[in-house]
Amino acid sequence: MFVLYRVRRLASRVGGDSRALLGVRSLAGRVLLVELAIVVLLVGAALTAMVLQARSSTVNDARRVTRGVAESFAHAPGLVEALDGPSPSAVLQPRAEAVRRATGVDSVVVITPAFVQLTSPHPDYVGRPYQAPPNVVRDVVPQLYAGRTVTFDLQEPRPHYHSIATAVPVFGPDGVPRAVVAVNITVGRVNSVVGAQLPVLLGGAAGAVALAAVATGLAGRRLRRQTRGLGPSELGRMYEHHDAVLHAVREGVVIVGGDGRVTLANDEARRLLDLPADAERRQVAELGLDAGTADLLSSPEEVTDGIHPAGDRLLAVNKRPTAPFGGPPGSVVTLRDSTELHELTSRVEAAGRRRQLLYQAGLRIGGTLEVTRTCEELADVAVEGRFADTVTVDLLESVARGEEPATGGRQLRRTALREAPGAPGAPGGRAEPSTAVTLAEHSPQARSLDSGRAVLVRSTGPAPAGPDPADAGPYTVIVAPLRAGGGVLGLVEFRRRPGTTPFDADDLLLAEELAARAAVSVDNARRYTREHQAAAALQHSLLPRTVPRRTALEVAHRYLPAGAGVGGDWFDVVPLPGFRTALVVGDVVGHGINAAVAMGRLRTAIRTFSALDLPPDEVLGRLDELVAQADEECGALEITGSTCAYAVYDPVTGICSIARAGHLGPALVHPDGTAEYPDAALAPPLGTGGGHPYETTDLKLAEGSRLVLFTDGLVETRDHDIDHGLERLRAALADDGTRTPDATCEAATSAMRAPNPTDDAALLVARTGRLAPEQVAEWDVPADPSAVSPVRTACARRLAEWGLDELGFATELILSELVTNAIRYGTAPVKVRLIRDTGLVCEVSDGSSTAPHLRWAATTDEGGRGLFLVAQLAHRWGTRYTAAGKVIWCEQPLPDRPD
């Protein structure tokens, strides 16, 4: 009856003309109109949002560009000098116009504190006063006097001018404001960028509307096609065959009236419920059904996809009342045999759990490049995913050490062990294994290791001897090899305790898949460990193990490696003639073995250039040329962009000369304990200057000062910018002036180092001293050959005062040759200096920049043997160029004194 009722309803609904389906009064037509209206609204909203977003993005770009151009121009070298010059507009106007054309901004204007325009895109405005709008005078000017950069909207009514501007104050060395640099981009240019995008947006919107209209029309056409234009006669024929269809379906249908009698039951329902032949029109309670089934059929409650046991079957039940749908009072119940489906669902659920386990394995295994941690992740995934109660991971001894896997071995190292709560052994426990494991011959573990295949072990007795024996009782074990790169790295053992579902063939495949995925990560970690150890060993071999003890200079150092990887930070202490010392720190771009190699090349080059006794600026200049040449020959090392700071300390004068190539400046701790960052000339990083000259800054250091050189890894972290780190370091360095260099290093590293740093750091601390005046003797020598004898006599007298009579003859001969050469071939002034400390240094300086050369004199030559004699008498000798000329120096060791 219910089916007849539904057929009649269908006939009445589709009895009209099917050609009117897409009309406005039809459902398809209304759906078409509604969907088109929704699409038009959504497209309009999206178009509006995109226009607003494009305008906002363009305005933000304009603010960023004006700020970057203004700050770059304001901080450009030579700006303050040009402002203080006699004709600042003549110098700055070409620069401003060049910047404006290069960056695409509308104007770059320099305005004096008196609001006089020094530069303008309109040459007529140069030198004229600028009438600032009231909001600029009220809001912007006070911030500029406070030293802040201001980005604002500038509107001038006459002529109408609306732009986005950034103003940057320029202060002189005395802190007095010199000028303001203002960079503008007009709003008209911003709007033109947005307007250029409107045709594309409108075209896309029109295309979306057209596509939605076509899609809706096709959907309506499909609906018409699916009804096939059926009329009442066709539906009548459907009614004639409904009984055949009803009784042929493989789903039971039972209709129960409001009086509790069975109105209709098809053949499948009779089979599933074992109904008698005369079940129709009988009370449900009279059919001999069990109480649960009888209550299900007679109760008024609805049921949706319920599972109901009926004998040895599991039935999927759905129950709905008939009255709300125009039928008589009662309910219709559909029944479907889901016994096999339930078993299949259980299998599908098990497969889903396996897929989830593999998904978790992909997410969690291999997150680090540590062998032990990777093995622990495999064990955690298997135990927490309830695949096994106990999991052990054993690696070959060679693999555990980071070496290639050995073949045929039976010696393994326990790397990970995880046990679920209640597992045999230590319930809920977690071990930290590190013991050796020896496999017994013919054991499942040995068979798996030899064959490279997983082994499933089922037993009802006690566990055999193996890496992880369990308590007596039935158990199942899967031993899977960790295979990667054609070799076996180790074994993973999955164990289920007695009383749990044993492993099956599907679990064996899952165990192999888990082991295969983990093996790749273990092998990657092993290779990384090996390469990391090699890179670390190379880096440590290239860094100085100790620093030399220097005159009047106490040095301490620290190298702090990164948490992962090998960095390129380095330091060095290089002895120089005249008891001077070079202090060097540097930072190579990148990490890994390439960074270590690049660091070694730079350190070697620095030592080579230092041996030439060049000034700091020339050392960095030659190093810059070397880096550029090295990148052309081997770009894989990535030396370009490396930074370096090179300082030379002279204990005689107390002057420290420093030059920087893109490196952070030094910190200086005064004898009273106050710390500051002195100004030191800065040049671009190595290889990026394009021939940019390097400059040297001379710092006069008081005795007892501490000079601190460091790399950015000490002060820069992901959480804080470098300015914050510099302030923290300054606070850590400040003390009462009694710290030693080693204590200073310890205080700085303790305060600055993060728990898991991402970059390495180098720190070099040097406490300065001075040579006593009585250790230095100087004489001015007239440009007369007769002045050599008095100087020689004075030097001999000073050597006698120092107790160095044994060096008198050699020193007099050396000075005679060097002073004679300076007078004969050099220019005034000629000076002689003796320095006594751990050795005796003789220096002869003159105003000429030509250096003598050692050569073999022919037997007939009357001269040319002086430098040869100097080289034979001195321990070493050389030439050092200065701003005033050159210095010829030679060094002699002090004679041994009896204890």
Collapsed DSSP state (helix, strand, coil) of residue 243? helix
- Residue 877 amino acid letter: W
The highest-confidence range among 155-169, 280-294, 669-683, by mean pLDDT, is 669-683
Closest listed residue to residue 638, CA positions, set 594, 686, 586, 602? 594
Give the integer Cα–Cα distance in Å for 716 and 754.
10
What pLDDT was estimated at residue 18? 39
What pLDDT was estimated at residue 425? 46
10 Å CB burial of residue 761 (0-12, 13-18, 19+) is buried
Give the integer Cα–Cα distance in Å for 710 and 748.
10
What pLDDT was estimated at residue 85? 84
Domain pair 251-337 / 346-533, same fold = yes
What pLDDT was estimated at residue 617? 93
What pLDDT was estimated at residue 17? 40
Residue-wise pLDDT for 480-534, tens only, equals 999 887 788 899 999 988 878 888 888 889 999 999 999 898 888 888 778 777 7
Yes or no: is domain 20-221 CATH 3.30.450.20?
yes
226 band by pLDDT with thresholds 50, 70 and 90: very low
Residue 466 contacts residue 475 (beta carbons within 8 Å): no
**Which range has the worst mean pLDDT, 50-59, 250-259, 552-561, 877-886?**
50-59
Residue-wise pLDDT for 741-755, tens only, equals 999 999 999 998 877
Residue-wise pLDDT for 596-642, tens only, equals 888 888 989 999 999 888 999 999 999 998 888 887 776 556 788 89
Residue 460 has pLDDT above 60, yes or no: no
Instruction: Output the six-digit token pair for 490.
Output: 């180790």
Give the integer Cα–Cα distance in Å for 868 and 349.
94
225 band by pLDDT with thresholds 50, 70 and 90: low
Domain ranges of the chain: 1-16+231-248, 20-221, 251-337, 346-533, 544-768, 774-893
Give the integer Cα–Cα distance in Å for 395 and 491.
6
Closest listed residue to residue 388, CA positions, set 473, 513, 511? 511
Give the integer Cα–Cα distance in Å for 86 and 81.
10
**Could you please report the per-residue DSSP string of 15-66?**
-S-GGGTTSTTSHHHHHHHHHHHHHHHHHHHHHHHHHHHHHHHHHHHHHHHH
Residue 744 contacts residue 768 (beta carbons within 8 Å): no
Residue 8 has pLDDT above 50, yes or no: no
Extract long-range pairs of 735-743: CB within 8 Å, 24+ residues apart: 735/669, 735/673, 736/673, 737/669, 737/670, 737/671, 737/672, 737/673, 737/704, 738/673, 739/706, 740/554, 740/556, 740/767, 741/554, 741/555, 741/556, 741/706, 741/765, 741/766, 741/767, 742/556
Instruction: Find where tokens 């203004």 sit.
Output: 70
pTM surpassing 0.85?
A: no
Give the integer Cα–Cα distance in Å for 318 and 254.
11
Strand arrangement, sheet containing 252-257: 262-265, 252-257, 330-337, 313-321, 303-310
Identify the residue with better confidence: 32 or 345.
Answer: 345
Which helix (H) or strand (E) segment is 99 a member of?
Answer: helix 88-103
Identify the residue with better confidence: 311 or 894.
Answer: 894
Give the integer Cα–Cα distance in Å for 456 and 460.
14
Residue 559 has pLDDT above 60, yes or no: yes
**Which range has the worst mean pLDDT, 407-416, 462-471, 535-544?**
462-471
Residue-wise pLDDT for 785-817, tens only, equals 888 889 989 999 999 999 998 888 888 888 888
What pLDDT was estimated at residue 730? 94
The mean pLDDT value for 426-435 works out to 48
Instruction: Find where tokens 């960074």 sit.
Output: 595
- Residue 860 amino acid letter: T
Instruction: Find where tokens 């008589």 sit.
Output: 328
Instruction: Find where tokens 């070298």 sit.
Output: 77
832 band by pLDDT with thresholds 50, 70 and 90: very high
Closest listed residue to residue 707, CA positions, set 610, 796, 582? 582
- Show the CA angle centred on residue 44, arms to residues 42 and 45, nearest 5°: 65
336 φ, ψ (degrees, to nearest 5): -140, 135
Give the integer Cα–Cα distance in Å for 273 and 313.
10
Residue 412 has pLDDT above 80, yes or no: yes
**Could you please report the per-residue DSSP string of 826-872?**
S-S-EEEEEEESSEEEEEEEES--PPP---PPPTT-SS--HHHHHHH
Peptide bond connecting 86 to the previous residue in cis, omega within 30 degrees of 0:
no
Percent of the chain with pLDDT over 70: 81
Please name every residue paired with 166 in a beta bridge, in sequence order, or none if there are none.
Answer: 151, 183
Residue 474 has pLDDT above 60, yes or no: yes
Instruction: Output the six-digit token pair for 175.
Output: 């802190």
Give the integer Cα–Cα distance in Å for 617 and 610.
11
The mean pLDDT value for 6-27 works out to 42
Identify the residue with better confidence: 100 or 742.
Answer: 742
Instruction: Find where tokens 């680090």 sit.
Output: 368
The mean pLDDT value for 161-172 works out to 85
Percent of the chain with pLDDT over 90: 23
Give the integer Cα–Cα distance in Å for 396 and 491.
8
Give the integer Cα–Cα distance in Å for 793 and 787.
10
Give the integer Cα–Cα distance in Å for 467 and 642.
52
Sorted by sequence, the CB contacts under 8 Å of residue 509 that are 6+ apart come out as: none
Side-chain-side CA neighbours of residue 394 (13 Å): 24
Residue 24 has pLDDT above 60, yes or no: no
Compute, in degrees rounded to 10, the torsion defined by CA atoms 769, 773, 774, 776.
Answer: 90
What pLDDT was estimated at residue 331? 86
Domain 544-768, CATH number (from 3.50.50.60, 3.40.50.450, 3.40.50.11740, 3.60.40.10): 3.60.40.10
Peptide bond connecting 159 to the previous residue in cis, omega within 30 degrees of 0:
yes
What pLDDT was estimated at residue 99? 86
Superfamily (CATH H level) for 346-533: GAF domain (3.30.450.40)
Give the integer Cα–Cα distance in Å for 46 and 653.
73
The class level of CATH for 251-337 reads alpha beta
Residue-wise pLDDT for 318-367, tens only, equals 888 877 776 678 888 888 877 676 667 667 777 788 888 888 888 888 88
Give the integer Cα–Cα distance in Å for 649 and 878.
19
The highest-confidence range among 30-34, 38-42, 584-588, by mean pLDDT, is 584-588
- Backbone region of residue 542 per phi and psi (left: phi > 0; alpha: psi in -120 to 50; beta: other values): alpha
Identify the residue with better confidence: 250 or 20.
Answer: 250
Sorted by sequence, the CB contacts under 8 Å of residue 114 that are 6+ apart come out as: 129
81 band by pLDDT with thresholds 50, 70 and 90: confident
Give the mean pLDDT of the chain: 81
Give the integer Cα–Cα distance in Å for 782 and 827.
10
The 8-class DSSP code of residue 137 comes to: I
Side-chain-side CA neighbours of residue 567 (13 Å): 22
Superfamily (CATH H level) for 774-893: Histidine kinase-like ATPase, C-terminal domain (3.30.565.10)
Buried b (16+ CB within 10 A) or exposed e, 861-879: eeeeebbeebeebbeebeb
193 φ, ψ (degrees, to nearest 5): -65, -40
What pLDDT was estimated at residue 31? 54
What pLDDT was estimated at residue 159? 59
